[in-house]
Amino acid sequence: MSADPSISPAALSGEVSLPEKLADVEPVRSVRTPIRLEYDFIPGSASSGYLNAFADRKILGQQSPVDGAVFVPPRGVDPRHGAATPDYVELPDTGHVGGFCVTRLPIPGRDDLEIPYVSAWIHLDGADIGFLGLVAGIDTSEVRMGMRVRAVWKPDDELGRTAENILYWEPTGEPDIPVTAAGTNAWHAKQAAAGEPG
Amino acid sequence: MAERTAVLGVGQTKYQTTRGDVSLPGLVREAAYRALEDAELGWDDIDAVVVGKAPDFFEGVMQPELFLAEALGAVGKPLLRVHTAGSVGGSTAVVAASLVQAGIHRRVLTLGFEKQSESNATWALSLPQPFSVSINAGAGGYFSPIIRQYMARTNAPELIGCMVAFKDRQHALRNPYAHLQQQDLTFDQVVESPMLWEPIRFSETCPSSDGACALVLGDEAAGDASTKPVAWIHGAALRSEANNFPGRDEVNPQASRDCADDVFAQAGITDRRGEIDEVEIYVPFSWYEPMWLESLGFCEIGDGWKLVEEGATHLDGGDLPVNCSGGVLSSNPIGASGMIRFAEAALQVRGMAGDHQVDGARKAFGHAYGGGAQYYAMWIVGSDKPTS
């Protein structure tokens, strides 16, 4: 690797001769072509059930037929066993904070978010994986793994078929879940309590 | 038994924010040309080409490998594309190696690239999904909660991440290909740089780079015929797992542990820290250095940060130098970043790493991860031909 990295290999940078009529034309170095893609989203049955239920202030998960694990949002499949998950489970709008991030830069399409904001993996009571949610109603420096939270919903007349019906998650004030049983540790803690290998 | 396989040549472009002087074909051509030059081979010597890059929507060019075929000298030859998100550079090298190891091809050109100046990767990684709320701000937003979990598990001192970032930027000053060349950077400046995705500071993140990296791989006869030192592949492995399932260990994923166990077993290595002379790990956010050192078995679980604190991973005086090239923290052309790790490992055992050479390096470890820390690629290369 003796080559000077700032110099293009000689064999690649040979002389280029232009036709005479182009001799005085300014060379084009780059062209900026913004692109746009619009599409319609047609949800499958699992996402349809999930999104439709949101309009009624309900959160639906699906349950693994193999080990009973509950997934939210439901995607129609248990990713560990490759099994279809046809059965819905209604979940409460309470849970705890797993991993979280205090974000200090704005993101496109969310001009409404005040910086800094907390994005967190929300582990609903009765669910076995987390899903993303905004945590608010508390100083960002006070947010903790294991902190108990409940959903703050949009008013009834603004509800749609969308996860955005939940404005954010706020602390309930209940005692924290121990970190060793919070977030992705929750499954193992639950299995251990049931006397089964996680 | 698999065919013994060697890295015959390495080619890199200078990594920088914008390579405005070359098109995508020009960029890949430059790296490929340099790899052939290093291998003392010509385009006609190549039997097949294997390329990788991050997802197409990063630059908005769909299936770019098709229009790059001529620039890569691949017309009329097998041309394969590998897709494993950020780990792709590593996976691509492993797939290319497998074509030689299987005896299908004698010499394969493999290349990873990204032209981040023609894209916006952070927001390409934050596409709104209809079944989720749109609050995730790029890769930093995704990995920050996992880093927070690591810190909670280990009670690591808060500035370990800053130590990694400062070390890698110092290493980069000794690698002329590295993007960030921050001569006057001080440790205090790293500590004082703004929090973006708390606990990740701006200075603890990787830059956006344009660049390409290429390798020429050959079979045993080709390795023996080389007039220059070659890097022999002692092990190469891939693993993956889903990114969200009950009980997933996001800090130390099973796919990472399994991949490491496989590659070290292939290489017959039992004392990982003692037998490996240089490590190139994929560290896009500083805390991933101690996290991967643990997951890869270079130390006990919970001790990764101690290696950083002791200076064990520094090129000067460390017994396990990590990312002597400056790593992903100093250059990040995403699709190339994994292959750069593999290439730098090869340069080390060939004794050709220049100012960032580890004296007498005989065995080196290359690593890449991608997606939601769910795709893994690893290889171990050595100065000597593997015995088995």
Option in B123, B141, B146 nearest A119 (CB): B141
Residues on chain A touching B352 (C-beta within 8 angstroms): 1
Average pLDDT in chain B: 95
Question: Tens of pLDDT along A164-187?
Answer: 999 999 999 999 999 889 998 889
What is the pLDDT, as a whole number, of residue B123? 72
Q: What is the DSSP-derived secondary structure letter of residue B322?
A: B
pLDDT tens sequence across B288-304: 999 999 999 999 999 99
A30 touches chain B (CB under 8 A): yes
Gyration radius of chain A's alpha carbons? 25
Name every chain A residue with its beta carbon within 8 A of the beta carbon of B194.
Answer: 104
Complex confidence, ipTM = 0.89
Does the beta-carbon distance from A30 to B354 stay under 8 Å? no
Percent of chain B with pLDDT over 90: 89
Is the pLDDT confidence value at B15 over 90?
Answer: yes
C-beta separation of B216 from B7 below 8 A: yes
Determine, for residues A184 and B126 on separate chains, whether the beta-carbon distance falls below 8 Å: no
pLDDT at B118 over 90: no
pLDDT band for position B1 (cuts 50, 70, 90) = low
A153 in reach of chain B (CB within 8 A): no
User: How many residue pairs bridge chain A and chain B with CB atoms within 8 Å of each other?
Assistant: 148
CB-CB under 8 Å, B347 with A99: no
- Measured between beta carbons, the chain A residues lying within 8 angstroms of B33 are 9, 11-12
Inform me whether the pLDDT recorded for A50 exceeds 70: yes
pLDDT in tens, B187-218: 999 999 999 999 999 999 999 999 999 999 99
The hierarchical CATH code for the domain B5-120+207-382 is: 3.40.47.10
Q: Domain segments of chain A: what residues?
A: 45-193
- Residue-range domain boundaries for chain B: 5-120+207-382
Q: Is the pLDDT of residue A46 over 70?
A: yes
- Which of B135, B143, B174, B357 to probe the A interface (max A CBs under 10 A)? B135
Q: Enumerate the residues of chain A whose CB falls inside 8 A of the CB of residue B126.
A: 107-108
Q: Do B245 and A109 touch (CB under 8 A)?
A: no
CA–CA gap between residue A80 and residue B257 (Å, rounded): 18
All residues of chain A having their beta carbon less than 8 Å from the beta carbon of residue B134 are 107, 109-110
- Beta strands in B244-374, from DSSP E residues, in sequence order: 278-280, 363-370
User: Does A100 contact B148 at a Cβ distance shorter than 8 Å?
Assistant: yes
How far, rounded to the nearest angstrom, does the alpha carbon of residue B261 sit from its chain's CA centroid?
18
d(CA A34, CA B123): 14
Considering only CB atoms, which chain A residues are within 8 Å of B242? Answer: 79-80
CB contact under 8 A, B135 and A145: no
Q: Residue A198 — pLDDT band, cuts 50, 70, 90?
A: low
Residue A13 has pLDDT above 80, yes or no: no
Residue A22 has pLDDT above 90, yes or no: no
Closest chain B residue to the Cα of A60, Cα to Cα: B131
Our CA-based measurement puts residue A20 at a distance from the nearest CA of chain B, in whole angstroms, of 23
A36 at interface of B, judged by CB pairs closer than 8 A: no
| Range with top average pLDDT, A18-22, A33-37, B215-219 | B215-219
- Contact in structure between A180 and A193 (CB atoms under 8 Å): no
Q: Do residues B212 and B12 make contact, with C-beta atoms less than 8 angstroms apart?
A: yes
Q: What is the pTM of this model?
A: 0.94
Residue B43: CB atoms within 10 A of its CB come to 14
